[in-house]
Every structure is written in structure tokens, then in C-alpha cells.
Amino acid sequence: MVSTLQERLVRSAAAVDSPVGQLADAQEWFRERAAADTSRVEVIPFEALRGWHFAADTHNLVHETGRFFTVEGLRVRMPGAPVEKWTQPILHQPEIGILGILVKDFDGVPHFLMQAKMEPGNHGGLQLSPTVQATRSNYTRVHRGRAVPYVEYFQRRDRHRVLADVRQSEQGSWFFRKRNRNMLVEVAADSDVEAHDDFRWLTLGQLHHLLAVEDLVNMDARSVLACLPRMTGGSDGTGGTGSPARERRGSVHRTADLLSWITGLRTDREVETERIPLRETDRWHRTDHRISHESGRYFSVMAVDVRAGGREVRSWTQPMIEPHGPGVAAFLLAHADGVPHVLVQARAEPGYTDVVELAPTVQCTPRNYAHLSGAAMPRFLSEVLQAPADRVRFDTVLSEEGGRFYHASNRYLVVETAMDIAPPEDPDFRWMALHQLLDLIGHSHYVNVEARTLIACLHSLLVK
């Protein structure tokens, strides 16, 4: 009998060891790659950037080719937010890149081709990354760089089986409307795809183990893994179906009501943004090394010199964003009639494409709130940080995108709680069955990047 995709994914999630290699082998392989990596990253003053300069008129930080990305200004008006008006620097990178993971069956168990990849902002240098992580300029080779290995599988999709292909947003506080295409593409089990030196086929079970290791699985990999078709529900009554998907099936709220809640917020909440010259940002000041807010909060724009030491030595300089203080991103988890639910927050960030996205229950940099009164503290933060150890189901520090953010990390938590901790109809929060949230990830701009990381981690908790 032919297994369904769902059955095969469940098998992969259960496989901690595999015909391709044991978990210990994978860990050993990664340690070896990390030991062999001689990359170094150095913080430099802006004037030591090569190819980058501050434009005379706008003071935007731009590359001489006009490519890659720019650092510019954004003016934000968000009535009703704790701060209602501000300006800030922001990264503008309009191209939509590909984040792709190749999938292949070995002995009936799907494996995922992961890459050990250095990025300058990473804590620890190498992290486990998708098969392909390429900007449009990369993969169309306008920079005449090396070909991106395996990218052809994501460009000629008609020959392979697409499991997911959806544009998803990234950090809306640091990027202006940045989206990447998150793709999972399965090649035939008998196809001959070789894993190059820096690549390795891993099961979902192995990936779930590695997700619990600090700073190991990178943001792009987590984002793509969150887009996997869901492994539970469907024919057992907990899954939604087309029209009935708008009905309630083992969920606290009907999907129609959740979609209506989102539509209401996107219709009524005002978020006005205007791209402005970087020179017009108020209260942000530039020194030789950094552009920072006068309060010392939020983040700085800074610059690095990178020497990447893999099989081939490459070196470059680039600007990056360095957040001030680590963040916290957490889902409160509760069960209703045995169906797992998470408390999602409808969150507006200025760089989002469509007003609000669904975010973790708590998502903040606690340090940015230290100067505000208790009432302004993020809701549910104390519940998360003060939860007894036996209710903490996941707790790992993971890095954000190392190609643009310097030592950016969040402590990701999943904390089990009781459903009555939140009122059922809070304006900004809803309990959502995990299967409802997973169905929305199939469409763009519903689930933010921090929530996608937590969903990748929740897969590891809920599918044994």
C-alpha cells in the first residue's frame, strides 16, 4: 500500500536514527564542519565598508551597484500602540528570495537536505540551514557569483513534487515588507541527488532534536520547516475540511470566527508608514561605528568585515542590524478536549505587508520596556518567565537571520497553561487550535516569523 504524505512525515518525525545515519553521526558531522570553518567576522567603522557608502542627499546606506539592500528611514504612525509615532532606520530589500529544503525518501522515510552554513551574524559561525538560501540576485547570478547548488530543483518545480511554496514575511521591526519564498520540494525516491560536503540528509526526528540545541538550526530553516503540511488531523475529526473548515472541529473558536477577527483588525487598525531618508530619522545618531537611538534602546546599525573560510575563501563587508538585548518569544499552550491550542497575538509591526500578523503570545525585548510602567509591560510576559519548570515544554535560545542581523537571538519558549488564563474574546489574543494555525501557514502573511519558529518547535513536541 502506498503511504500518504502525512503518514510518511509522521514516520520521519519518529525516526531519530535513519538508514542514512544516526543522530550521533549527524551531530559529529556538524561538529566537524564547525571545526573546519576558519571564518572570522570583525566589527568595523562605516568608513571601512567597501562598495557601501552613505548617499549624499538621503544619508541612506547603499551599495554602489544599487543591489543587495539599503538602510533607510521609516516614519511610523500607529494610533493606540504604547508609542504612537516614531521614526527609525529600516532595511529595504524588495527582492523575494528562495528558502528551499529538498526532501527525498530513503526506505520510505522522508529526509531533508540541510546545509552547514556560515553567516556573519551567527552566534557560533555555522548553523544548520535550508538546502537553498538565495536572494533573487544570487540565483539569477546577476553578481556573476558561484551557482547556488540545488537551486534548479526549486526553479523547475514541474518535474518534482511541491510540498509547500508560500511567501512569508520576516521581522517587521527591522525589514520593510521583506518576504521570502518558503519552499519544500520532494524529489523522487530513486532520483540521484548527491549530498555535497556541507550538506546532509536528516530526518524530521533528527531535526527536532537539533532544534532544542542553542543557536544550531537557523531562522530560515525553522521558517521553512513550519510550512510543512500538518501531520495530524484530517480524517479523525480534528482536521478542518474546505467548507466545514469554517466550522468548529475540536477547536475553541470556529475558523470563520478567527478569520473574521483577523479581517476586523486588518480593516480597523491604522498603521501608517512612510519611507523617508535615513537623515530624517529623529533621535537616531550616527557615530563612526554605529547608528543608534539616543536612549540606547532597540538596535544599532553597524558594519562588519567578513572572511568566510570554507572550501573557498571569500571576503566582503556589509552593514548589519545589531539588536540591543536578547528577545523573548513564547507561546502559551493549552489543551481543549485533547486538542492542542496556542494563544496567538495579533501583532502590528511597521514592516508588515498587511497590517497585523499572528504572533507568539509574548514577543518582546524585555529591556526595551524597562523604562515603562508595569501597565505597559507586554501581557503574559510574567506568566511565561515565572512558569514552574514542569510546565515549560520548550526553552531554547535561537538565532535570527545571520545574513542581516548581528548576534540577534530570542529565547523561544512553549509554556503549558490553563485556557482560562486569557479571556475568550480579548481584542488582541485568541486561542487557536494548532491545526487551524498550520492551515493558515499555507497562505502568505498570516503567521509571523517568530511564530513560525515556535511552530517548528511545536511539531517536535506534538508529533512523536
CB of 404 to a copy of itself, least distance (A): 19
Amino acid at 151: V
Task: Please say which residue, 159 or 283, places its beta carbon nearer to a copy of itself.
Answer: 159
CB of 223 to a copy of itself, least distance (A): 15
Contacts with a copy of itself, residue ranges (CB under 8 A): 4-6, 96, 157-158, 162-167, 181, 183, 229-231, 233-235, 239-247, 254, 256-257, 259-260, 263-264, 266-267, 354, 425, 435, 438-439, 442-444
Residue 355: CA atoms inside 13 Å, Cβ hemisphere, count?
12
Cell of 373: 510602567
Place of cell 544570487: 138
Instruction: Answer yes or no: are the C-beta atoms of 361 and 345 closer than 8 Å.
Output: yes
Element spanning 73, H or E: strand 70-77
Task: Please say which residue, 123 or 246, places its beta carbon nearer to a copy of itself.
Answer: 246
Amino acid at 430: R
Task: Please say which residue, 235 or 373, places its beta carbon nearer to a copy of itself.
Answer: 235
CB of 79 to a copy of itself, least distance (A): 15
CB of 262 to a copy of itself, least distance (A): 9
Cell of 297: 534602546
Task: Please say which residue, 165 or 395, places its beta carbon nearer to a copy of itself.
Answer: 165
CB of 435 to a copy of itself, least distance (A): 6
CB of 20 to a copy of itself, least distance (A): 25
Cell of 171: 521581522
387 vs 405: CA distance, rounded Å: 30
Instruction: Answer yes or no: are the C-beta atoms of 402 and 115 closer than 8 Å.
Output: no
Task: Please say which residue, 22 or 241, places its beta carbon nearer to a copy of itself.
Answer: 241
CB of 375 to a copy of itself, least distance (A): 26
What are 202's strand-pairing partners? 112
Sequence-distant contacts of 237-244: CB under 8 A, at least 24 apart: 238/339, 238/433, 238/435, 239/435, 240/435, 240/436, 240/439
206 vs 210: CA distance, rounded Å: 6
CB atoms within 10 A of CB 231: 21
Task: Please say which residue, 303 or 348, places its beta carbon nearer to a copy of itself.
Answer: 348
Task: Please say which residue, 183 or 308, places its beta carbon nearer to a copy of itself.
Answer: 183
- On the 0-12 / 13-18 / 19+ scale of CB atoms within 10 A, 75 is middle
Among candidate residues 305, 309, 342, 348, the one with its CA nearest the CA of residue 80? 348
Among candidate residues 411, 358, 418, 357, the one with its CA nearest the CA of residue 383? 418
- Please calculate the CA angle 336-458-106 and round it to the nearest 5 degrees: 125
CB of 245 to a copy of itself, least distance (A): 7
CB of 438 to a copy of itself, least distance (A): 7
CB atoms within 10 A of CB 324: 15
66 vs 340: CA distance, rounded Å: 47
Task: Please say which residue, 123 or 254, places its beta carbon nearer to a copy of itself.
Answer: 254
CB of 251 to a copy of itself, least distance (A): 11
CB of 384 to a copy of itself, least distance (A): 28
Task: Please say which residue, 191 or 260, places its beta carbon nearer to a copy of itself.
Answer: 260
CB of 104 to a copy of itself, least distance (A): 17
Among candidate residues 399, 387, 336, the one with its CA nearest the CA of residue 361? 387
Task: Please say which residue, 229 or 366, places its beta carbon nearer to a copy of itself.
Answer: 229
435 vs 462: CA distance, rounded Å: 11
Per DSSP bridges, beta strands 109-118 and 52-54 are unpaired
Task: Please say which residue, 96 or 336, places its beta carbon nearer to a copy of itself.
Answer: 96
Task: Please say which residue, 200 or 253, places its beta carbon nearer to a copy of itself.
Answer: 253
| Helix pair 23-36, 204-211: axis angle to 10 deg | 60
Among candidate residues 257, 147, 124, 244, the one with its CA nearest the CA of residue 196? 147
